[in-house]
Amino acid sequence: MEEARLVEDYHPETAGQRHLPERLVLWDETLRDGEQSPGVRFSPEEKLRIAELLSEVGVSVINAGIPVVSAEEARAVRRVAEAGLSAKILAAARTVPRDVEAVIDSGATHIAVFVAASQVHLRFKLKMTPEEVLQASLASVRRAKDAGLHVAFVTEDTVRAPFEFVERLYRAVQDAGADRLVVADTVGVMTPLTFRWYLGEFVRRVRPRDLSVHCHNDFGMATANTLTAVEMGASAPHVCVNGLGERAGNAALEEVVLALETLYGYRTGIRTDRLYELSRLVEECSGVPLAPNKALVGYNAFSHEAGIHTHGVLAHTLTYEPLQPESVGRQRAMILGKHTGRAAVVEKLRERGVVAPDATVVDLLARLKEGAESRSKEETQRFLEAYRARFERPGLSDEEFWMLADAVGIRAVKA
């Protein structure tokens, strides 16, 4: 079967505008940022299962978590760090001495030191001056380097911070030994064009030895912005399996990888045929079901019902599929329903070696459509009600909270 063509095959004039890195260091945040999705909690055993599969598919760096958070989190990070995986194991730390020490004690070989950079974060959250942020950052980077760790320096909300401060801060920490510099679009406000300009300025003014990006999906542009960054030479993009992450999530691992492989012809080193397996494991452990229309790994991604589409796919898969489903570990599905056309019915019969007269096929198709349209929606409504109840309030209920408060002697005062 003919494979999908690269974007440059259709638009060759774009090829010279890309400056892809020679080697990609795929940095996965599923166990850290992904776990910070509302209602998600990975046990140490689940973190290890996910980390093992991430390493097997070829991910370069795995952020195992923030060990200072709790004893269980520290245990989880250590289990992953001591598992002998081929991926490098990273743990994260604020620019706080005890955070950095917790990472040093965890057994991780890599550290991500992070601090906020924008004025709104400094004023309302950290209550620190830019100079205090600079000094805390330098101290943390130097301590981590002294301990022999590979150091990535990250600022939250980089793109909304004054560029003069960003330049000063990043140049200083790189001079202090930071190995990798991470630009974060923490609330997903970048557009691809603006991000292209921003990263160009960042590279010109800071001159990073190793550029990385962390993109959120608040406006649905995390994958597009991440690909833009890779086009600009960023060698260590952050991703999360299934696009998990705080609020609307992060750039999805499967989307970034398959776009680079299929649309750019860039070899990522990832076992793409196991991405669906990885997606299902994270779905199981996180308890967050995949949206049916989720790109590449959603249940509808390679499913066809509409007659025009099924006819096209049966004639040649590239009519309505940009890549073969097997490349992601998937299989194609022809759905029989209201929009089914004659070609799908003929193909379904052919699967069992049946060839029916045209009149019979038309009669069967009419009955199929009638059956699909007459099915009750009650089951669907019950499912949606249960789904909404689960995700509109994913944490503890108010009743559970006040029961816990009562147990420690706190009494609610009625308004």
Q: Are residues 254 and 111 in the same domain?
A: yes
Instruction: Name the pLDDT band for 141 (thresholds 50, 70, 90).
Output: very high
Lowest-pLDDT range, 73-77, 167-171, 297-301, 318-322?
318-322
- List pLDDT tens digits, range 347-379: 889 889 999 999 998 898 888 888 888 888 898
Residue 393 has pLDDT above 90, yes or no: no
Q: Are residues 349 and 400 in the same domain?
A: no
pLDDT at 79: 98
Owner of token pair 């950095």: 100
- Take residue 272 and report the two structure tokens written for it: 């793409």
Query: How many percent of the chain have pLDDT more than 90?
Result: 74
Number of structural domains (the chain) is: 3
Q: Which domain holds residue 389?
A: 378-407
- List pLDDT tens digits, range 153-189: 999 999 999 999 999 999 999 999 999 999 999 999 9
| 219 Cβ contact partners less than 8 Å away, ≥ 6 residues apart | 188, 189
> Which alpha helices (DSSP H) does 289-357 contain, by range?
307-315, 342-351
Q: Are strands 27-28 and 61-63 parallel, antiparallel or unpaired?
A: parallel
Q: Are residues 122 and 175 in the same domain?
A: yes
- Average pLDDT of the residues in 322-345: 88
Comparing 161 with 321, which gets the higher pLDDT?
A: 161
pLDDT at 106: 98
pLDDT at 1: 42
Q: Is residue 180 part of a domain?
A: yes
Q: Are strands 27-28 and 303-304 parallel, antiparallel or unpaired?
A: unpaired
pLDDT at 392: 83
- List pLDDT tens digits, range 31-86: 999 999 999 999 999 999 999 999 999 999 999 999 999 999 999 999 999 999 99
- Average pLDDT of the residues in 396-401: 85
Q: Are residues 252 and 321 in the same domain?
A: no
Q: Are residues 394 and 362 in the same domain?
A: no
* Domain final residue, candidates 252, 286, 320: 286
Q: Is residue 264 part of a domain?
A: yes
Q: Are residues 367 and 264 in the same domain?
A: no
- List pLDDT tens digits, range 248-285: 999 999 999 999 999 999 999 999 999 999 999 999 99
Q: What share of the chain is helix, strand, coil (3-state, %, to 5)?
A: 50, 10, 35
Comparing 363 with 225, which gets the higher pLDDT?
A: 225
- Average pLDDT of the residues in 295-304: 92
- Average pLDDT of the residues in 282-291: 96
Closest CA to 51 of 39, 38, 64, 68: 64
Closest CA to 181 of 163, 165, 198, 167: 167
Lowest-pLDDT range, 9-13, 174-178, 344-348?
9-13
Buried b (16+ CB within 10 A) or exposed e, 206-230: bebebbbbbbbbbeebbbbbbbbbb
Q: Are residues 108 and 251 in the same domain?
A: yes
pTM of the model: 0.90
What CATH number has the domain bearing residue 78? Answer: 3.20.20.70
Closest CA to 175 of 209, 198, 133: 209
Instruction: Name the pLDDT band for 213 (thresholds 50, 70, 90).
Output: very high
Q: Is residue 209 part of a domain?
A: yes
- Please give the backbone phi and psi of residue 91, each rounded to the nearest 5 degrees, phi first: -130, 155
Bridge partners of 116? 156
Comparing 41 with 394, which gets the higher pLDDT?
A: 41
- Give CA–CA dist 158/153, Å, rounded: 11
Query: How many percent of the chain have pLDDT more than 70?
Result: 97
